[in-house]
């Protein structure tokens, strides 16, 4: 039950859904790409990514000084339901602004 509550909390915010959808679209993103694309502050995006990582949705990989986020290899039917619904609206997201610092 706790896992369902965590997922519900994560998907209760439009910005967290947009972050999730961007990662769905591009497979792996760094914080700066998410911030620049969605025009959100770095502390806010980092907090949301941390919440998703703690919920087991995302994994982080460090490459040089950047941390990239991608989906964790978890098979969760509730999460799959969210993915299916988000995928229906994924085209409404803005075009990715690629990190210039890489």
pLDDT digits (tens, 9 = 90+) for 19-70: 999 999 999 999 999 999 999 999 999 999 999 999 889 999 998 888 999 9
Q: What is the pLDDT of residue 19?
A: 97
71 touches 79 (CB < 8 A): no
In a domain, 94, yes or no: no
In a domain, 97, yes or no: no
* Pairing of β 58-63 and β 28-30: unpaired
Please give the residue range of the domain that contains residue 48.
2-88
Q: What is the pLDDT of residue 42?
A: 95
Cα-Cα-Cα-Cα dihedral of 44, 33, 70, 16, to 10°? 40
Q: What is the CATH number of the domain that holds 69?
A: 1.10.10.10
pTM, to two decimals: 0.88
- Rounded to whole angstroms, the Cα distance separating 58 from 28 reads 10
CA angle 101, 25, 86 (to 5 degrees): 135
Q: What is the pLDDT of residue 76?
A: 81
In a domain, 102, yes or no: no
Q: Which residues pair with 61 in a beta bridge?
A: 68
């Amino acid at each position: 039950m706790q896992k369902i509550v965590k997922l519900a909390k994560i998907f209760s915010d439009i910005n967290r859904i947009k972050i999730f959808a961007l990662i769905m679209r591009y497979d792996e993103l760094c914080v700066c790409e998410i911030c620049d694309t969605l025009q959100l502050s770095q502390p806010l995006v980092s907090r949301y990514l941390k919440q998703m990582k703690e919920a087991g949705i995302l994994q982080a990989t460090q490459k040089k000084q950047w941390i990239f986020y991608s989906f964790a290899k978890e098979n969760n039917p509730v999460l799959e339901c969210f993915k299916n619904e988000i995928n229906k609206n994924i085209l409404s997201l803005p075009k990715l602004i690629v990190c210039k610092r890489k």
